[in-house]
Amino acid sequence: MARATTSTRSKTAGTKKTTTKTTRKAAPKAPVAPKTAKPATKVAPVVVQESTLVVSAPDLKKVDLVDMVVERSGIKKKFAKPAIEAALAVLGEALAEGRSLNLRPLGKVKVLKSKEVSNGTVITTRVRQPLETAGAAATAPKDDAQGPADTSD
């Protein structure tokens, strides 16, 4: 749009009076092309499959982890607990350093990003588990022919 500005000044008894007028000129409109109707194309309907709702299990606490390890391995709780705590400490330190973990049957744990917050560090990871671990091999305990290991050391 183009603007034209005119101003007039008039002197009246020692004071100056300024009046400004602004006028707008309409911009020329671009020619509009007529819309042409396109023939409707038929789109094949898409069948939507019902998704299954995945409900996560409750959090696995350290006490529960120790109990499960004692049950699977057959060793005494007083021997299992310090070993599990040491392993968790080493894993936590490795993740804090940004190291990837490749631990079968858990899988490969890769650190994507890390962020310091007021009460700790938030570490975003990606876990890739092998297919054979996700099946029955991870849930079924293996029975040894010899029985539980001797823990009399």
pTM for this model (two decimals):
0.50
Return the domain boundaries, the chain. 59-97, 100-138
pLDDT of residue 42: 80
pLDDT of residue 47: 82
- Nearest-angstrom CA–CA distance, 93 and 5: 73
Do 114 and 98 form a contact (C-beta atoms < 8 A)?
Answer: yes
pLDDT of residue 66: 95
Phi and psi dihedrals of 127, rounded to 5?
Answer: -115, 125
Mean pLDDT, contiguous 10-residue spans, the chain (153 residues): 54 58 65 66 80 82 95 94 96 93 93 92 92 55 46 45
Nearest Cα neighbor of 142 from 95, 94, 73, 78 is 73
